[in-house]
């Protein structure tokens, strides 16, 4: 059943997140040049990590199995604030690591490892049964 969640995640990522990110990345490439390509890759991986963490922390119901009113509840406010805090932490780490020689490449490698770990954890996720 975890394949449903992986499919939903991939669908949302490819249809909603990636197109916006590509447009923004092209604007930054036009303004700053090719030298920021590693930064753009690192930021993309941070987005993937934050999305995977969000998927892991949120309640797992089958897609379209919960009514819209149930989805509007503020139960996930703490998770949202936690993700905002993680975003800030990743931003600070990104800033600090850029001061090192080849720091961004080390950061990308660490991010790839973290994505692999998170993807493995999420693939074992279970969903809540709907009555």
- Pairwise pLDDT comparison (73 vs 117), residue with the higher score: 117
**40-63 exposure pattern, b = at least 16 Cβ within 10 A, e = fewer:** bbbbbbbbbbbbbbbbeeeebeee
Judged against a pLDDT cut of 60, whether residue 53 lies above it is answered with yes
Query: Could you report the per-residue pLDDT of 75-120, keeping only the tens digit for each?
Result: 677 888 889 999 999 999 999 998 888 899 999 999 999 999 998 8
Whether the CB-CB separation of 41 and 96 falls below 8 Å is answered with: no
So what's the pLDDT on residue 114?
95
Domain ranges of the chain: 2-62+73-123
Mean pLDDT along residues 4-15? 81
Q: What is the pTM of this model?
A: 0.82
């Amino acid at each position: 059943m975890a394949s449903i969640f992986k499919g939903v995640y991939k669908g949302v990522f490819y249809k909603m997140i990636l197109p916006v990110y590509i447009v923004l990345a092209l604007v930054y490439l036009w303004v700053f040049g090719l030298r920021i390509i590693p930064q753009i890759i690192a930021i993309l991986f941070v987005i993937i990590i934050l999305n995977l963490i969000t998927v892991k922390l949120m309640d797992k119901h089958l897609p379209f199995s919960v009514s819209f009113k149930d989805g509007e509840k503020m139960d996930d406010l703490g998770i949202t604030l936690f993700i905002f805090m993680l975003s800030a932490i990743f931003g600070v780490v990104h800033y600090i690591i850029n001061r090192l020689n080849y720091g961004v490449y080390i950061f990308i490698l660490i991010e790839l490892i973290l994505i692999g770990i998170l993807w493995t954890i999420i693939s074992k996720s279970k969903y809540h049964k709907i009555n």
